Chains A and B, each alone.
Chain A
């Protein structure tokens, strides 16, 4: 029991140290930028905006979902690709498509993929939509922390991927940094799971 007590103290100290580093230093921001890699904003066949968090009950997009679609619309307006593909839940893609139309993206340039729950399913659905038409080179819009896993999935289903992360650094307040570190931890676990299952 004494050994267990010492182990718990060491674990507790590590947790406390991790908390202080995460909340009061830029460590999570550096990790965020590292996970994003370099943006490759070049001409592509389509801009893919992956789903994230869906929409609230009143149809309003979550913060991250909104950031992603706004970045995708910006890339479209810079004429980097002729198609804007919006993925996610049904409510999410509808709200995103409405927003894109409202900001001047023609309906003919918008494609909606609304039957996916996971990034893997999104990759499969989007490949069925685009690859038969020879649209292989994509600008992939995702959060910095999701980019690595999303890129693996999209390359696995046959796309040539150009990264277009939504941001590089992240929040500068303690609460935001803690949330960022939590999301990074979740994402690392997801990446490990995808690797384990052969993706």
Chain B
């Protein structure tokens, strides 16, 4: 198997388990097929909200790092903002915010 083919392995897994979840949802869970499109829109909206939170986190982090540099003799690297936890935590913020909005209706 070539490296390029190996790199597609996660996508194959994603497809297989998604098809399994679809079959289980319709067959066992009694979920409506017609609601899947709306669910996909909701997912995209949550993802978009995650991007907004990510941009906010990066902007605030940059201002804080440059502020600390400017006002003290302590050096804070901008590279701390490139940590993989930042987008994950931003997505968590988005999901909580979205659920909160839904529960408030």
Q: Smallest Cβ distance from B93 to chain A, in angstroms?
A: 14
A9–B82 contact, CB under 8 A? no
Q: Report if A82 contacts B (CB, 8 A).
A: no
Contact, CB under 8 Å: A117 / B82? no
- Taken together as a complex, chains A and B put the C-alpha atoms of A173 and B75 apart, in Å, by 34
The answer to whether A11 and B82 have CB atoms under 8 Å apart is no
B83's nearest neighbour on chain A, judged by CB, is A182
Does B78 count as interface, using CB distance less than 8 angstroms?
A: yes
How near does chain B come to A11, taking the closest CB pair, in angstroms? 4
The contact string, 1 if C-beta is below 8 Å from chain A, for chain B 25-57, is 000000000000000010111111111100000
Are the CB atoms of A186 and B78 closer together than 8 Å? yes
* B3 contacts partner chain A, Cβ-Cβ < 8 Å: yes
Q: Is B1 an interface residue (CB 8 A)?
A: no
- Chain A: minimal CB distance from B17 (Å): 17
- Identify which of A12-20, A99-107, A125-133 touches chain B: A12-20
Q: A172 vs B8: C-alpha distance in the bound complex, in angstroms? A: 11
Question: Could you say which of A8, A117, A189, A190 contacts B44, with CB atoms under 8 Å apart?
Answer: A8
CB contacts (< 8 Å) of A23 on chain B: these are: 7, 10
Contacts of B7 in A (CB 8 A): 23-24, 172-174, 177
A3 within 8 A of B: no
The residue on A at minimum CB distance from B77 is A117
- Report if A59 contacts B (CB, 8 A): no
Q: How far is the CB of B27 from chain A (nearest CB, A)?
A: 27
Contacts of A53 in B (CB 8 A): 79
Count how many chain A residues have C-beta atoms less than 8 Å from C-beta atoms of the other chain. Answer: 25
Residues in B whose Cβ lies below 8 Å from that of A8: 44-45, 48-49, 52
CB atoms of A16 and B77 under 8 A apart: no
Given A117-B75, A183-B82: A11 and B10 interface contact (C-beta under 8 Å): no
CB pair B48 A9 closer than 8 Å: yes
A27 to B: closest C-beta gap in Å: 13
Closest residue of chain A to B4 (Cβ to Cβ) is A172
Q: What per-residue 1/0 map shows which CB atoms of A164-199 lie under 8 Å from chain B?
A: 000000001110010100110010011000000000
- B8, A9: Cβ atoms under 8 Å? no
Interfacial chain B residues near A79, Cβ < 8 Å: none
Chain A residues closer than 8 Å to B82, beta-carbon distance: 182-183, 186
A58 to chain B, nearest CB (A): 20
* Residue in chain B with minimal CB distance to A1: B101
Residues of chain A lying within 8 A (CB to CB) of residue B81: 186
Q: Which 3 A-B pairs have the closest CB atoms?
A: A8-B48, A12-B47, A12-B48
Measured CB to CB, the residues of B under 8 A from A are 3-4, 6-8, 10-11, 41, 43-52, 75, 77-79, 81-82, 84
| A interface, CB within 8 angstroms of B | 5, 7-16, 23-24, 53, 117, 172-174, 177, 179, 182-183, 186, 189-190
